[in-house]
Amino acid sequence: MTPPRAGIAERLAQMLRLPTVSAELDDRGREPFEAFVSLIAEQYPLVHEALTLERHTDFGLLFHWAGTGTASGGPLVLMAHYDVVPVDESDAWTHPPFAGVIADGVVYGRGALDDKGPLIVVLEAVENLLAAGFTPARDVYLSFGGNEETYGHAAEEIARVLRDRGIVPWLVIDEGGAVVDAPLPFVPGRAAMIGVGEKGVMTVRLTARGEGGHASAPPSLTAVRRIARAVDRLGPATFRPRASSAVLRMLGQLAEQASGPGRMLLRVLSATPPLTARVFAALGGEPAALVRTTVAPTMQSGGTAANVLPSQASATINLRVALGETTQQAVLRVRRRIRDPLVRVTVEEASEPSPESPTDNAQFALIAEALRHSHPGVAAVPYVMMAATDSRHFHRFSPAVYRFAPLDMSNAQRASIHGVDENVEVAALERGERFHRALLERLG
């Protein structure tokens, strides 16, 4: 077989030099996004020659690779996004975030992991397979969005178009989990964490009015204090913990990698959902977020001057709704916890949590098989994705949606996503390309 072409690191560096910051579209304009579309046409000539490209909205790219039709069922959809989050100019990066620096086998820059790194390994695999004269056994779609970070409509429109055409994907893979070290305490080695479901996302706004006036004679409960009290009542225990089947499956599989007391503990937890829910909730952080709806106050406002009582105040709350719950249940719970009829609760955005995709089907087995070629000895382990992805627009009508970027990520690298010094190892990119190549070769 034709070996993969060299230069993946430099091609990613070129992508990272384009500041496709969707949250700063008004300031930067569309030029970086159009430059990205032109860049990948230059970098991947065979993809653009052999695949059909459709533009949906201003930022959605949908490539169609016609298969041989020897495999039954719908197509494979590989997803990624090419927009990135903003950079705080006060943060001290080792290399400028949009310089696309390659140093000591590592590519640095905003988007290296989220999500241009996962995007490039898809394009690399397709380009390399086309160079070898390969045609997949079933149709393949590459769905790339340019406004995922701002909850844009590019991926939503692409999903709608496919559904309207009667196209039901056999398998969808988007960003999400990764190949990580020591996925849980007592669990040595590496694991490929495959998101079999994702939490819903909801943004609510709390508003309250009060009597304005001079701050020298304040009432007992100003608008600001009323909102502050409401926010304080929405603590970590607002929602009861509940262990989903995905979490239990994760624990059961990780138990096989553990030894001694750790293995026994994980087996017990996998078989006792109430205990698991309580333990994970007590641990806080990511473990707690796996088993309950989370509530995060993100913005507050009110007042015009230091010595003036504001006539109104507000707060914005971001909720990530656990699998098995609904956004309607969540907002009712919020109102009950606040216990204040003078605080208005308005839902500004709501997206339901996904159903759980199975792990005993041919699709999950295919992912595990591809991993054996790209990351030998690394098991495919199900988990719950806590952030929102573009794939949420597909999981309403596609039976098998998984969230996994086939890149090795250390704890420090995971922390750099949306943070400082985002980077990816060149060797990880090469393994990621190998994963997608193996996946596409085995679609039949």
Over residues 150-207, the pLDDT tens digits come to 987 999 999 999 999 999 999 999 999 999 998 887 788 999 999 999 999 999 999 9
Over residues 94-153, the pLDDT tens digits come to 999 999 999 999 999 999 999 999 999 999 999 999 999 999 999 999 999 999 999 879
* Residue 69 CB coordination number (10 Å): 11
Strand 401-408 to 171-181 pairing: parallel
**Mean pLDDT computed over 348-377:** 96
* Residue 332 CB coordination number (10 Å): 12
Show Cβ contacts of residue 381 under 8 Å, excluding neighbours closer than 6 positions: 183, 191, 192, 193, 194, 250, 253, 254
Over residues 380-430, the pLDDT tens digits come to 999 999 989 999 999 989 999 999 999 999 999 999 999 999 999 999 999
Residue 1 predicted with pLDDT over 90: no
Tell the burial category of 305 from Cβ atoms under 10 Å away from its Cβ (0-12, 13-18, 19+). Answer: exposed
Over residues 2-20, the pLDDT tens digits come to 789 999 999 999 999 999 9
The DSSP bridge partners found for residue 191 are 180, 379
- Angle between helix 8-16 and 31-43 (nearest 10): 170
pTM of the model as a whole: 0.93
Walk me through the domains of the chain, giving residue ranges and CATH numbers.
8-198+354-441 (3.40.630.10), 200-351 (3.30.70.360)
Over residues 252-300, the pLDDT tens digits come to 999 998 989 999 999 999 999 999 999 999 999 889 999 999 999 999 9
Tell the burial category of 345 from Cβ atoms under 10 Å away from its Cβ (0-12, 13-18, 19+). Answer: middle
